[in-house]
Every structure is written in C-alpha cells, then in structure tokens.
Amino acid sequence: MNYQVLARKWRPHNFTEVVGQEHVVKSLMNALQHDRLHHAYLFTGTRGVGKTTIARILAKAINCENLQDFNPCGVCSVCRDLDEGRFLDLIEVDAASRTKVEDTRDLLDNAQYAPNQGRYKVYLIDEVHMLSGHSFNALLKTLEEPPAHVKFLLATTDPHKIPVTVLSRCLQFNLKRLLPSQIFSQMEFILQQEHIEAESGALKLLSRAADGSMRDGLSLLDQAIVYGNGKVGMDDVNAMLGTVAQQPVDDILTALAVGDAAAILDKINEIANLTPDFSDVLRQILQVLHRIALLQQIPGAIDHDFDVDMIAALAAKLTPEDVQLYYQIGLVGQRDLDLAPDPRSGFEMVMLRMLTFRPVGTASTPVKSAPVRQPIVKAQPQPVYNPPTTEQPAAVAEKSLPEAVTQHHDSNWMDMITAMKISGLTRELAHNCVLESIDDSICTLILDPGHKQLRSNRTEENLQKALQAYRKAPLKLVINTEKTTIATPAVQLTKAREDKQQAAVDAINADENIQALKEHFGARIMPGTIEPI
C-alpha cells in the first residue's frame, strides 16, 4: 500500500477542520447560509496556508446534496467524487503550466454548457498570477458576467501581479500566516492520531521552522519522523534542521546581559559542533529580542508565545535601551553576515559588537574582557545643588514658614517626595509645589500658576493618600495657586542637572588629552555629545 504524506492525508475536507483562517471560513459559511454566493472568489496568501484547500471545500459545499450546518457532508456522491478527484464539474487548472491565451480560450469555451453532476461548474485556477496578459484579457468578460451555473475560484501567492481589472471582479480573501502555536497544536493532534511519540520541544522547533506554512510544517514533520526512526526527538530535529534549539540562544542572551564575553564564545563553540546556520541563529536572537521589547513595553503582548517564561526572565535582566541597541546591531550584522570571511567569525563579531557598544553605566555587570587603555580624564567634583546659604535669604525663608514646618523633621519637601515613592503626574505636581505648612491634620502646598494644568482630582487624591501613608495620619491636602520666591524641587533638580552638565563640559575642555588632540589633529568636540557620568 502506497504511503500518503501527512500534508495530503490530513488536508481538511470541510470548513471545521481548517486551521487558523476563521475570518475566511466564517464569511464563506455565512454566504452559504444566506445563499449569497459571489461568482468569483480570489484567495491570496503565502504558500501552504490553505488557499487551494479552502477553494476545494467551497466547490464541494456549493454542490453538496446534504449540507451539515453549511459544511459539506462528506458522504454524498458529490463529496466522495470530489475527494477522489472524479467530479467532472470541478475543472482545476494550474495557471503556471497553462499560460497561453489559447489554453484560456479552450477552457472557457466549455463554460456555456450546463454542469454534468452538480449544480455549479467550478473553475479552480491555481497560481492565477502566472497567466499572461492576453490570457487575462480573454478571461475578463467571462469573469465579469459568467453563466449562472459557473463559479470561478482563483488562488495566488502574489496578488500584485494580477491586473486590477481582474481584482475588481473578484471577492478577495487574504489568508493569514499561521502562528507557531497553531501549527504546533495541529502537529500534536496528528501525531496522537498516528500514535507516534514526540517531544514537545521538537514540535515547537518544527513549528517555528515552518515559517507560517502548515504544509511546510507537516512536510518537516514527515522528515523528522523518518529521521528519528518513527519518533520525533529534540536532538534528532536539531541535527536534521542543522539549527540550534532555543536554549543556546537563551544562554547567549543571558551571558550578554551580564557582559560575559568568555561565556558567549564558549556557547558559540558548543553550537558550532552542530554545523549550524549562523544566520538562522542570529535570526532567532533577533526574534527573542523583539519579543523581549514587546513584553517590556506591553506586558501580556506575547501570551501565545511558546517561551513566555524564558522571555520574561530575559526581560528582567536586560534594560529596554540595551534591547533596542542589541536588536539594531543584530539587524545590521545579519545584513553584513555574507560579507564576513566566514559565518562563524561574522556572528562572533556581531556578539562582540553588542558588548563593546553597550552604554557605560548600564545596570548589568561590566564586560569580562582584557583591559583597554582609555584617555585619563581628571576627576572633577560632582556639583551638588544646595539652597542659598546667605544670611538674608535664609532668614526670610525661616520667617516665611510656619513653626509646624521649621521645627519638624519633614521640612525638606524634596526628601518627602522621594520617601513617598510617587510617580507620573502625581510626582510632577509635587515637584512643582512648595511646602507651606504641614501637621497631622492638614498639609498646605503652594503651586506656581504656570503649572496649574497639573492639578486634577486624581493627582490631588493620589498625593493626599501618599501623604497620609507617609505621616500615618488622616491629614487633608490643600493646594493654593500663587506666586512664590522659594525654589520648587523641579527647579532645584533642573539647576542641579545643568550644573552637572556644565561641570562635565568643563572637565572635558580642561582635559590635557583632549587639548592635545585639538592642537595636533584639529579635533573638535561635537556639540551635545558630552553627558555626565
């Protein structure tokens, strides 16, 4: 008995069995329910997502003698003949092999005759974009006004090559690329029915390698079953695909997070023994970095992902800035990988570039590599902004504050803001206020009129709750909007940043090495590039 490949054996025979194309299936079933069938349908999408399969199911449904919930019954003579390829009224054509205008004319000459077995004569033209311009012209008139007993079902992977005059005469459905989780679930179901043992990790790897195509995934599954001698194991799939599993990618990114260059090179040595495609390894790293960035910005955005725990662990180790930098370096490195002397050295340079260009002062551990001589910059004292200490302003400030503030340890409003751990607009409101008085019953703040837009019921309520929790008393918050001569925390922070920035600029300009570079090489400092550490 001849073996039938999984992609053919498990091809859907009704709408219920179709995976991942609910938006198309629902529209077609509703059209059947209300008897609103269009005369021409165009199914588009990448290879292996179900274009021809859905077209055949639709051809079966519109001719079925006993629809079950608007699904082909599968047992009537029409369904059986169509499944076995003996249905005379389904004319299936591969446009790639019949591109001539004479072929199209011969095909349409029979359209005027009534169907032999079913209610409709169905023309299923696969890869319709391969037809020549003259063939499309010959098809136009019949496609626009076909006989009542004729339906056209067109399928293509490249709708942009189809003339707009043809597109405008068709009802178009765009089929989606399948998610790895959808392909994985279908593989699990098929293997259960086939009574074949499989490791979950191996199926996940095959699902990713399918690249959105169910047919490609089932073909790879067939290959994995043969390679594993009737079983689907992780090691066998890795060896068969010539790729590495997700774990080495996890290990590389973990080592990258702590700046361990030696660990990265050791892991590259390990995966090199599998004869991997380093371009594919870099692609996997980019995919993981993309999902990390999504999780950091939009928690819950990768619920359907296979490795959500691993992604969450890496998202906690890498800062969002580093993730964006690594992604950009990896993207450029993937483009230039073919220019490297060999793929491994090119991949290693991409990883080392990520380590080298990581911003100084990142939260992760410094890079474990040989020390590099850097120009010596004389240490400059970090400027710290202190409120004016002259006798006259201090006296005025002392007199302007009530006794409840001047005698209490909470008189430093900036320290109170830090201790309350508020954020967002609530913190901005507090930063632009001056503390006038505070006790266990009432807290009075002065807000500059220029920042009154920060006031809202929500921000004032949040600030009052934070003050109550800080003072452990049910005090009331009162905010008065008026001019004040006392510097707010926002003004103090801005002044401190400006002083720190100016100190950094002065330190660079006064550095002997910088002066020597300017003198001997005509170097200049780019404006806006100096940042304090």
Residue 370 lies in a domain: no
What mean pLDDT do residues 191-204 have? 89
pLDDT tens digits along 244-283: 555 678 888 888 888 888 888 888 888 777 666 788 888 8
Tokens standing for residue 247: 């774990």
Asked if 289 contacts 355 with a C-beta cutoff of 8 angstroms, the reply is: no
Determine what percent of the chain is predicted with pLDDT higher than 70.
87
Per-residue confidence band for 186, with pLDDT thresholds at 50, 70 and 90: very high
Strands 433-438 and 171-174, bridge-based pairing: unpaired
pLDDT tens digits along 481-509: 888 888 888 888 888 888 888 888 888 88
What mean pLDDT do residues 117-131 have? 88
Residue 465 lies in a domain: yes
> For the chain, what is the mean pLDDT?
82
Among 295, 207, 282, 296, which Cα is nearest to 252's?
282
Strands 433-438 and 442-447, bridge-based pairing: antiparallel
Among 344, 208, 233, 347, which Cα is nearest to 288's?
208
Asked if 49 contacts 176 with a C-beta cutoff of 8 angstroms, the reply is: yes
What is the SS3 string spanning 230-242?
A: CCECHHHHHHHHC
In the predicted structure, residue 97 carries a pLDDT above the cut 80: no
pLDDT tens digits along 320-333: 888 999 999 999 99
pLDDT in the model for residue 311: 81
Distance CA 295, CA 310 (A): 11
pLDDT in the model for residue 501: 87
pLDDT in the model for residue 83: 86
pTM score of the predicted model: 0.56
pLDDT in the model for residue 364: 44
- Choosing from 322, 356, 390, the residue where a domain stops is 356
Among 124, 58, 130, which Cα is nearest to 92's?
124
Using CB atoms within 10 A of its CB, is residue 458 exposed (0-12), middle (13-18) or buried (19+)?
exposed
pLDDT in the model for residue 384: 43
Supply the CATH number for residue 77's domain: 3.40.50.300
Same domain? 322 vs 456: no
Residue 448 contacts by C-beta under 8 Å, 6 or more apart in sequence? 432, 481, 483, 484, 488
Helices 457-471, 413-420: crossing angle, 10 deg rounding: 90
Distance CA 15, CA 246 (A): 34
Tokens standing for residue 80: 């059986």
Residue 54 lies in a domain: yes
Asked if 126 contacts 91 with a C-beta cutoff of 8 angstroms, the reply is: no
Asked if 19 contacts 215 with a C-beta cutoff of 8 angstroms, the reply is: no
pLDDT in the model for residue 409: 40
Same domain? 509 vs 429: no
In the predicted structure, residue 391 carries a pLDDT above the cut 70: no
What mean pLDDT do residues 402-416 have? 56
Supply the CATH number for residue 270's domain: 1.20.272.10
More confident residue, 196 or 298: 196
Same domain? 414 vs 475: yes
Structural domain span for residue 129: 6-174
Q: Indicate the number of domains in the chain.
A: 5
In the predicted structure, residue 337 carries a pLDDT above the cut 80: yes
Distance CA 485, CA 466 (A): 26
Opening angle at CA 24, ends 22 and 27, nearest 5: 105
What mean pLDDT do residues 51-70 have? 89
Supply the CATH number for residue 185's domain: 1.10.8.60
Residue 392 lies in a domain: no
